[in-house]
Structure 1
Amino acid sequence: MVDICLICEGTYPYITGGVSAWTHNLIKDFPNFTFGVVHISSKIDHFRQFKYALPPNVIEYIEIPIHEPIIDSDGLPEMKADAFDFYSFHQELKKGDHTRFDQILKRVSPSGFGGDEINSGAHGKITGEKILYSRESFDIITNLYRQCGLNTSFIDYYWTFRTTHLPLLQILNAPILKASIYHPVSTGYAGLYAVTAKLKTGSPLILTEHGIYTVERKIEVAEASWMLDEGGGSLKLQAQLGKIKDFWIKIFDFLSRLTYKYADELISLYSENKKMQVALGADEKRILLIPNGIDIEKFENLKGRMGGEDATLKVGFVGRVVPVKDVETFVKAAKLINDSIDNVEFFIIGPDDEDAEYAREIRNLVSALDMATAIKFTGLANTSDYYKVIDVLVLTSITEVQPLVILEALIAGVPVVATNVGACREMLYGDSPEDKAIGQCGIITAIKAPEETAAAVVKILKNPVLWREMAITGQKRVRRYYQKKHLCAQYRRLYYGMLAAKIKTIKN
């Protein structure tokens, strides 16, 4: 049994980025606690490698592939699908009704409830395999399809139904990593696992929501031209399939609201996130604001003056070369900057192996714009080495939460140009009246706006006085609001408080 179980969906320890870095640093910052990590993945990939070496205080690790059958190890008999009342389960998902969730969980996965466990010999359990292959479930899906009155084919509906429901049943039947505290870093399937673990073990649940899961999934579903790829063939969902896309969104909304309901503590990183959480059903009274924080000593005052020793101006992009970071806009902006200012170099600082096709497109764009000598790709690198030399950091992401790279650049003394996503605006312009009074340490631009991005960078680079004012302002803001020691102090209080309460409950 571990002290804290961190639950990650599709991020740590396989993917680099803000959420993974936050997770890794949290574990390292509390060496006296033992941690377990549950990674929720799509499918098993035996060739995939960790991007982070698990710290020594991670003593348990479980991976749950939600689109593959989970090996049945508890020996409980399976019940027939019609005995489970799968129709009601589906309808409650669509309505967002959580009132019977604990009862549903006991029917789906009765093991692990101790004295409160139902008579599993009489009822058995239901697994994803039952939903996929039983005649009873097929009849239920057929009836639901007829009731929906969809114009799309039954095949489309059936495979969408399978793809949305199988992961839920896989999570509900997954092995529970025993812990004193469950701490998912998102809602969604990670939140569902945490709620399941809480109901089975009685341990408390802390939710730290970096991005708003429901909002991010809505964007993905709205932009998707396909929803799944089964057996190597794509199942296309065109625009007329609005009802099916709407059902995907309802699943994600259900999972978020469920996690909000059962979370003992709910953490938001910034004020706009908190507002969205409340709008999506979270109890405002239980939401704590704990922003990201960094070790300022590592990055403080790395940048001396604009232009550096060689007097060449340098503009940097720090992040993964993936579509969500919109590196294309950075490259196009770099071309415009290069045409406006002499003697400028550009750096794309970050790994490019996560999406090989997109990385290839970006390199082709660089060549097409005749920028191959001006733009350098560093690959995975020590960012502090580049904060010493770049004069402006540019983020062109189409979605973000509270980027650590902005904090790193600001404390180093580097002004920032960033898109108006996540907490970027309040990081550069301030949040509270006292914060805003400090001043601006960068410029906010619209997403997918290379001209606006280029103009912002040129404005800063052509005005050394403005550059210096922004550099000083950024350092002030980070020192006052974004130090890691403040983050650690708040999580330490949460962890110790919950552990003390659990020990007291056990003693009683």
Structure 2
Amino acid sequence: MSGIPAFDRIPGESADVCLIVEGCYPHVAGGVSTWIDWLIRSIPETRFGAVSLVTPGEGRTARYKFGPNLVRFQEIVMGDAPPAAARWRARRYPAPERLATLLVEFVRRGELATLAAILRLVNDERQPIPLAVLDRGDHAFAVCREAYRQIMPHGSFKDFFWAWQALMGGLFAVLKAPLPAARTYHTISTGYAGLFAARAAIEGAERVLITEHGIYTNERRIEILMADWMVDTVDQGLAIAGRRTDLRDLWIMAFESYARCCYAACDGITTLFGENQPMQRALGAAEARLVVIPNGIELDRFGTIPPAPPEAPPTAALVGRVVPIKDIKTYIEAAAHVRRAVPDAQVLVAGPEDEDPAYAAECRELVQRLGLGDTVKFLGRVDVRQLLASTHVVVLTSLSEAQPLTVLEAGAAGRPCVTTDVGACREMIEGSPDEDPESERGGYVTNILAADEIGEAVARLLTDAGLRERLGANLRRRVHRDYASQQSADRYRRLYDGTLVPKAA
């Protein structure tokens, strides 16, 4: 296995802020990774460290150039424990039933005190339990068997075993990995990154923070409900009450508990827009710790992009990863409507396809099946500024988003957008409640999975230059007024120094 080499430019010293990220920066290009890169560059006086949680895999390379104030970096590979050495297998560890009971309690309730008890047990100074023993072998199997008895005794043990391995593999990886020295730990999601931050709080961190773009638990819930490999394996019988736990229940319950624990550990809980906060409150986030910090954009980079040249064909573009949560298939179906109204239209997909190659292949097959080969083009990763220079309308069909940078970039360049009604998109396109959404809109907001509605809105903008220019100008004004990079960076400075959200008592 090869990954991105670790480095430490300040050995023996604490970083100012340790960023904790899962599944993105620096090896995956996308909105969250771009935001992290922006954050590090925008506060150059702060010494950042970064911990990247990754799954086993070959050939990870950095997609972003590390700045001079990123002084420390390490990866934690989850679910990749080596086989237990014979000397470890021969030792006697605490009874599996004890660890299983703590883990089950944690998966059900997500209490910080329970995670602390698990941490003490697996990292006991007198006899720590090696990761290899926790992850595989007789002890791990006994823990899994007891957890199955307590959680899902009526379901398939085989399915439970693999789900438990995945859920606990990540948990144990973040409990056993080295904790880099920092004054503040800042996680960019709940999930396993959030558990690593919670561990830092347990071990005495001065300050622990979270910034959520999308709500991790909500995005995982969507993926779990969409997963066709996850079948119901529990016979619910004729009971009306007391529904038995099934595999989907286990996954959702675990991720919600991980979120509860993370929120309990954090001194500041930030998100990009207010509509995320009810979901945070529902999982225990304390009101006094909640704050909104919108994304910021470097206006000079995008505000100077000229209009598309007159000779450019009518062009719509979606900038994003080719993955199910972005719902590229609905975008392709919308392209069929666009082509009927605008025969010479170009409908572009600009984003990497390597995260979910099977889904990307399905998208390409759908293009061929609908006869859209001359209309829909997959560009891969591109320079967004160059793309916008020849684009008339930017489209986003996601099932879940936070405050997508692609909309801000398009707006700064004066390009109107068509987006689904997810995250902060309506607020970005139509403005705050005191603005008139009709006269001041910067595009159109549609339902999710609504290919005809999306296609109609795109076609309307491609065929009416006056409307397109007016809506693009509206969005440009809103982005310049509300989403400037410096405003956002200054709020993060205040978050780090404790003046924005005082440390929890």
Q: Same fold (TM over 0.5)?
A: yes
Q: Contact (CA 8 Å) 1:70, 1:170: kept in 2 or not?
A: no
Measure how far apart 1:269 and its partner are: 0.5
**Per the alignment, do residues 177 and 150 of structure 1 end up closer, same or farther by CA in structure 2, a change over 3 Å counting?**
same
Q: CA RMSD in A?
A: 2.9
Structure 1 counterpart of 2:41, one-letter code: K
Query: Where does residue 68 of structure 1 map in the other structure?
Result: 80
Distance 1:51 1:393 in 2: 24
Measure how far apart 1:135 and its partner are: 4.8
Q: Contact (CA 8 Å) 1:315, 1:394: kept in 2 or not?
A: yes
1:54 and 2:57 equivalent?
A: no
Equivalent position SS for 2:35: helix
Query: Where does residue 385 of structure 2 map in the other structure?
Result: 384
Structure 2 counterpart of 1:18, one-letter code: G
1:254 and 2:257 equivalent?
A: yes
User: What's the CA shift string for 1:304-334, capped at 9, x where partnerless?
Assistant: 3xx7321632222212222222222222212
Measure how far apart 1:96 and its partner are: 3.1
Distance 1:29 1:185 in 2: 17
Distance 2:104 2:176 in 1: 20
Distance 1:46 1:353 in 2: 13
Q: Contact (CA 8 Å) 1:80, 1:130: kept in 2 or not?
A: no
Structure 1 counterpart of 2:79, one-letter code: H
Aligned residue among 207, 212, 215 for 1:209: 212
Structure 2 counterpart of 1:476, one-letter code: R
Query: Where does residue 445 of structure 1 map in the other structure?
Result: 446
Of stretches 381-390 and 90-99 in structure 1, the one that deviates more from structure 2 is 90-99
Query: Where does residue 193 of structure 1 map in the other structure?
Result: 196
Measure how far apart 1:487 and its partner are: 0.5
Matches within 5 A, 1:13-28: 13-28=26-41
Matches within 5 A, 1:125-144: 125-133=128-136, 135=138, 138-144=141-147
Q: Contact (CA 8 Å) 2:103, 2:118: kept in 1 or not?
A: no
Question: How many corresponding residue pairs?
Answer: 478
Distance 1:163 1:345 in 2: 42
Measure how far apart 1:293 and its partner are: 1.1
Query: Where does residue 17 of structure 2 map in the other structure?
Result: 4
Gaps of 5+ in 1: 111-119, 228-235, 503-508
Equivalent position SS for 1:7: strand
Q: Contact (CA 8 Å) 2:316, 2:394: kept in 1 or not?
A: yes
Matches within 5 A, 1:213-362: 213-226=216-229, 243-300=246-303, 302-304=305-307, 308-310=309-311, 312-362=313-363
Structure 2 counterpart of 1:360, one-letter code: A
Measure how far apart 1:422 and its partner are: 1.4
Distance 1:57 1:292 in 2: 21
Q: Contact (CA 8 Å) 1:206, 1:266: kept in 2 or not?
A: yes
**Per the alignment, do residues 4 and 418 of structure 1 end up closer, same or farther by CA in structure 2, a change over 3 Å counting?**
same
Distance 1:186 1:14 in 2: 17
Structure 1 counterpart of 2:448, one-letter code: I
1:85 and 2:86 equivalent?
A: no
Distance 1:140 1:25 in 2: 43
User: What's the CA shift string for 1:376-405, capped at 9, x where partnerless?
Assistant: 333221111122221111111122111101
1:180 and 2:187 equivalent?
A: no
Matches within 5 A, 1:85-104: 85-93=98-106, 94-104=108-118
Equivalent position SS for 2:445: strand
Q: Contact (CA 8 Å) 2:330, 2:450: kept in 1 or not?
A: yes
Q: Contact (CA 8 Å) 1:225, 1:237: kept in 2 or not?
A: no
Query: Where does residue 416 of structure 1 map in the other structure?
Result: 417
What TM-score comes out, normalization by structure 2 length? 0.86
Query: Where does residue 6 of structure 2 map in the other structure?
Result: none
Q: Contact (CA 8 Å) 2:104, 2:150: kept in 1 or not?
A: no
Q: Contact (CA 8 Å) 2:184, 2:205: kept in 1 or not?
A: no
Distance 1:442 1:60 in 2: 42
Q: Contact (CA 8 Å) 2:48, 2:70: kept in 1 or not?
A: yes
What TM-score comes out, normalization by structure 1 length? 0.86
Distance 1:53 1:5 in 2: 18
**Per the alignment, do residues 79 and 23 of structure 1 end up closer, same or farther by CA in structure 2, a change over 3 Å counting?**
farther
Distance 1:211 1:169 in 2: 25
Equivalent position SS for 2:317: strand
Gaps of 5+ in 2: 1-13, 236-243
Identical pairs, percent = 35
Distance 1:354 1:143 in 2: 35
Distance 1:384 1:33 in 2: 28
**Per the alignment, do residues 78 and 444 of structure 1 end up closer, same or farther by CA in structure 2, a change over 3 Å counting?**
farther
Measure how far apart 1:458 and its partner are: 2.0
User: What's the CA shift string for 1:130-158, capped at 9, x where partnerless?
Assistant: 34556566445434434556333333333
User: What's the CA shift string for 1:468-504, capped at 9, x where partnerless?
Assistant: 32112101110111111111010112223489x99xx
Query: Where does residue 107 of structure 1 map in the other structure?
Result: 121
User: What's the CA shift string for 1:159-210, capped at 9, x where partnerless?
Assistant: 3333322321221111111111111100110011111123224321111011
Matches within 5 A, 1:360-439: 360-434=361-435, 439=440
Query: Where does residue 480 of structure 1 map in the other structure?
Result: 481
Structure 2 counterpart of 1:29, one-letter code: S
Distance 1:22 1:128 in 2: 33
